[in-house]
Amino acid sequence: MPAEKKKKKPAPAKAPARLAPVVAPTVTQPVSSFEYCRALIRDVPDFPRPGIMFKDITPLLASPRALHIVLDGIAERFIGEHVDAIVGIEARGFIFGGALAARLNASFVPVRKPGKLPASVDRVEMITEYSRDSLEMHKGSIRESAHVVVVDDVLATGGTAKAAAELVHKQGGYVVGYAFVVELGFLGGRERLLPVRVESCIAY
């Protein structure tokens, strides 16, 4: 009988080549993220009154990418900081305020036009770029010494945001920041809100 052929031993595996360290890829975009969002804000002249250039954010809301960019852009400036509550101003401030509260693990507190909130309220008067009005917040919405960020879509003269802050102070909270998607710098709202920190994504 022929001697059984000796099985050849498999060659030892080669030592793996040294792996290069993982480096985050460089992303080059034709425009910055906020410039991408700026292109999605529509100017509507003479709305809601003659002489007002209304900044319509609905095209930005319709773009999932733009909505992420502005929400992340605001959230990253407050992440890791002590924020107990986001106060969102009716109506467009609700859109950004609610999403921001979820991102920052904070509670959301709505500030509304008169007569909309069902329980007992605190109320303040305010003057905005195009109206004179009041704002209300449910009594007991803000915990004593809570750190609060006031959120709205547009900062114009700052009257609305200042009134919302007054409601927070009435209930014993501290406003540690204001956040807006759009800032109309030429109307001086930021100066009215200083020295409290003011964050915005797209300035005109």
DSSP β-bridge partners for residue 122: 137
Residue with smaller CB distance to ligand AMP, 84 or 152: 152
CB of 156 to ligand AMP, least distance (A): 3
Backbone angles phi, psi at 167, to 5 degrees: -65, -40
Binding site for ligand AMP (CB under 6 A): 52-55, 89, 92, 128-129, 152-160, 184, 189
Instruction: Read off the tokens for 144.
Output: 């004593």
* Dihedral in degrees, nearest 10, Cα atoms 95, 124, 179, 195: 180
CB of 29 to ligand AMP, least distance (A): 27
CB of 130 to ligand AMP, least distance (A): 6
Residues 6+ apart with CB under 8 A from 147: 81, 82, 83, 84, 85, 173, 174, 176
Closest CA to 174 of 192, 197, 157, 191: 197
CB of 74 to ligand AMP, least distance (A): 16
Active site residues: 92, 129
